[in-house]
Structure 1
């Protein structure tokens, strides 16, 4: 018997040598048993724990107790997890991959607390840039002392010879210097475009800030990205997300050029995490992309379209049923009217694609729900899993409609903690009842798919988990949380960033939980989110990221 065992061991050793010579990873040749871990997953809606996970060729064979799994396969590669906490790979259900990559390449104004400091940071960036345009993102006038929109003059003082264009943190407003306005042909006589607004001074001159559709006046003059720049931005974003423990992301609206590049990268196995791509509804080649059909590859899935109905609350572009409390003559901007939205739904559902519609204000959410209610059974939300992206301000009585129609609420927890310093001013106390109302949504049986909306917010998913559980910002303010009755439990928050986000992208049979037959996508972190004080969840560090059974970080 001993001789037989020695022969088997010799054969295994020889196999390792042969595989190494062939350039094949031994981790792919034999099952891997990762043990001594503090594992968590959501299974059948319930939180489960385990101390070992067994996987082979990217697929989970089993999770459970070490002794049981070791007995299942005695010839596995054994790895000691050293007691670290293991979670399913986190899924960001709403982000902008190209935007994140570009943000990492350009001037970042996130968190800068004044207009003058922002202009100074832009000037310092410009000294190191040879670009024809100075581009950036992240300013937020709500954080500034005067809380007023910036003006072109502060940028003109530091950069007069090059055009400057800086998107607001939410992407629904932009700040230009005089050179950019000149190139765009914006003068005192330029009318506001439909769905947009040119902010003007008392004499009617453009101040430098453009809202929603008006931004295209400047952005149409910016030299388009070339293929090399686009690819570099995507790769930067991929690496950044993987380091943060994001193993799958829903890319919320891509243009035709990014669509083509994604298909190319996928064909060459160059996408390192699982991407659920939404086609950009405003792209003139939308129907051509729809006709190409659904894409269902291991790391790329395409079967949805992203639409917009309104702008954002911070820039007062979100469409409200009643005027803004702090601007009584303004109800926001409706970017897509009822007729056009109905036409979009008819076109997109004809090809069997899911429709994911941006709606922030209560008027926008009402409009989308109204149109979704008109769909027939084959095109309904229960069949195609239509989503409302953000669903930030909803009339409370309309929240049960989400569950009744089968609409998924794709929400971003950090939006609440970023907006809490102005949401009350914009909406008044009464409308806050249906604002960022995660608990109310869950209590009404609505599926929540959580994300970050990067680069509007930081891509770190643990900031979102923290915000969902505490309703506090990164300084753990306010003390008991903003509108604390809407808090989620840690398990509910994790579910929204894993299996429910997977469901929202038709990927629930492959990812989102750790169980036999699913993909070995998981992360190891430095603390247990279920036992540490909740205010520490946003301090979690990702130690390792595994995708398809391979350690990629």
Structure 2
């Protein structure tokens, strides 16, 4: 169990200290916190860094004598934390979303239509109007929106808007026509075309059906891709992310990351998961996993697969029908044999697997596939992961530990989904839903993330949700299924040391121990002092990666 130790200055002088060594950076006068390798939270006043790596942490008195001619950064008594790592996100998706219509804040259909109309008017040169973030549950619409409604905002060109979870898209009439989607179009495997009472496409496409429209959108050119990556990196640095596990990239994106790494333009460490085991995987895996590229800024050693969709769009695959939609069990993307074959192919090449599974049927299928592959060819040592592990049959939770699987979970999903999750699942199934405490109690590693741009990239939103299980207004009182919450030190570990472990990087990242990269942030408050009610509003003042400052807040 993680215990917060308030060390005296005398004890702090020996804290995590290394033998005398040169230093080129002396970070002084900070209220520093870090975990050690055992997961114990400790404090320090100063830190020495040499060539981007931690030499020692300890008291001002002890380390000032060893600083020599090192550059001094005076922390002014501010709180310093290890750099935060998002263990499941979509970097280019964030960059693209930052440059499109943002429907995340909208509280009604009318408000969303107004945002789209305004965005379209401000960008008359765009052949497609694109955006993201709509959520019919937040709008209390009781149904999906329609193409006809979207036509009232924009009718003269195609519009394509992804749902908040990225597992459904909303098209206007022009987009449906361009894609050739009509009454006779059949649902593709793993997808669903929402239809009106007469069987005509109503405007929303779920999971595998989304590609019917998405493939018609012209791809980004190289310059647009760079602009999107620049936007994402800037936002990640602003919120204190020094590392991200990018859950599903193609060969072109890996090439872009390589170019940025070669030019020293990556301001966060990217642990990239190849999207699927098809042609891109064959191409990228030809020479085996990439580890520590660009001075430790890029790894390509994992594969991302999908087993099902999302709960909000009823695409998550359930063992029994949805409580609020009888007869509907969601969508499994692959047969058991297909999924097992893909997992086996990636493991056979030495790649870790991260498999998206939200519903209890999907989680069971993934667990069964991992068990089958392990029996035949091994691969447990690759630290394979289930991404989301959102709704798991109670009897299946113990299998995560038996199979040595990491639960890659996103705390803000619980507080975003609490407005509809119990409606979808019923009360009985909630016992295995968003069950962080149950996983931690059995010793399963939780690597925490956000799934941005599905959620905000701000990791303090995740830390807050993990600890309180409330929205930012403190609802519901006492927390939603509060028995499954984390302590703040546990949540910090999930966003640092255990996220690093999930990327095979716990020896170089995740804590500020000697020999590890000096990835750290300075923030505006001591998050361990007092109650966590305002934890989500923590402001990052500076972000440092490898001993180099990559962000400083204006006026901070």
Q: TM-score range by the shorter chain?
A: over 0.9
Matches within 5 A, 1:99-498: 99-129=93-123, 130-281=125-276, 283-296=278-291, 297=293, 298-376=296-374, 380=378, 382-498=380-496
Distance 2:454 2:259 in 1: 27
Kept in 2, the 8 Å contact 1:255–1:279? The answer is: yes
Q: 1:38 aligns with which of 26, 31, 35?
A: 31
Do the aligned partners of 1:317 and 1:333 also contact (CA within 8 Å) in 2? Answer: yes
CA change 1:319–1:147 in 2 (3 A) is same
SS of corresponding position for 1:259: helix
CA deviation map 1:303-331 (0-9, x unaligned):
00000000000000000000000011100
SS state at 2:33 partner: strand
| Partners of 1:472 and 1:482 within 8 A in 2 | yes
Of Structure 1 and Structure 2, the greater helix share is in: 1
Consecutive aligned runs of 4 or more in structure 1 exceeding 6 Å deviation: none
The CA distance in 2 between the partners of 1:90 and 1:479, in whole Å, is 28
Q: Contact conserved, 2:183 with 2:199, CA < 8 A, in 1?
A: yes
Distance 1:135 1:78 in 2: 46
Give the conservation status (yes or no) of the 8 Å contact 2:159–2:174: yes
- How many angstroms does 1:262 deviate by? 1.5
Match in the other structure for 1:531: 529
TM-score, L = length of structure 1: 0.93
RMSD: 1.3
CA distance in 2, matches of 1:492, 1:382: 25
Compute the displacement of 1:157 (Å).
1.6
How far apart in 1 are the matches of 2:549 and 2:228? 23
CA shift for structure 1 position 283 = 5.0
Residue aligning to 2:88: 94
Shift of 1:280: 0.4
Which residue of structure 1 lines up, in the alignment, with residue 10 of structure 2? none
Number of aligned residue pairs: give it: 525
Q: Distance in 2 between matches of 1:311 and 1:99?
A: 17
> How far apart are the structure 2 equivalents of 1:500 and 1:231?
30
Question: Partners in 1 of 2:178 and 2:162 — Cα distance?
Answer: 17
Post-superposition Cα deviations, 1:137-177, rounded to whole Å, max 9, x if no partner, equal 00000011323210011111221110000000000000000
Task: Pick from 541, 550, 553 the counterpart of residue 552 of structure 1.
Answer: 550
Structure 1 unaligned regions, length at least 5? 1-28
Question: TM-score, normalised on structure 2?
Answer: 0.93
Residues 452 and 458 in structure 1, CA contact (< 8 A), matched pair in contact too? yes
Q: What displacement does 1:79 show?
A: 2.8
Rounded to whole Å, the distance in 2 between the matches of 1:229 and 1:155 is 26
User: Mean Cα displacement is larger for which, 293-302 or 192-201?
Assistant: 293-302
Measure how far apart 1:376 and its partner are: 3.2
| Distance in 1 (alpha carbons) for counterparts of 2:84 and 2:376 | 31
Q: In terms of Rg, which structure is larger?
A: 1
Where does residue 503 of structure 2 map in the other structure? Answer: 505
Match of 1:25 in 2: none
Could you tell me how far 1:358 is from its partner in structure 2?
0.1
Could you report, residue by residue, the CA deviation over 1:243-288 in whole angstroms, capped at 9, with x for unpaired residues? Answer: 1000000000012211221122222222121000000006532211
2:3 match: none
Determine the structure 1 residue equivalent to 2:53: 59
